[in-house]
Amino acid sequence: MPADLDSILRFYNPAPKATTAVFQWNKPLLGVFRTNLNEELLDSLVADECGTFAVEVKPNEVQTVLVVDKQ
């Protein structure tokens, strides 16, 4: 995967309850992956045909997501 097609999203849940972060990507996606802080792949996430994907975030947790655009 060419690095110029990759985007990293890093976000934090400061709330005392778990929540769901929902993103809408405005480009065609090749894939969406949850990673660790070193940006090593953990698992893949499902994006719908509109480019929307969701990530569960525990209280006080940092999440990192790799988004790979299609060329």
Dihedral angle computed from the Cα positions of residues 17, 11, 65 and 36, in that order, rounded to the nearest 10 degrees? -80
Look at residue 70 in the predicted model and tell me its pLDDT.
86
The residues with which 33 forms a beta bridge, in sequence order, are 44, 66
Look at residue 7 in the predicted model and tell me its pLDDT.
95
Give CA–CA dist 11/39, Å, rounded.
13
- Identify the domain containing residue 27 by its residue range: 3-69
Residues 5-59 pLDDT 10s: 699 999 999 999 999 999 999 999 999 999 999 999 999 999 999 999 999 999 9
Looking at residue 38, which CATH number applies to its domain? 2.60.40
| pTM to 2 decimal places | 0.87
As for how many domains the chain has, the answer is 1
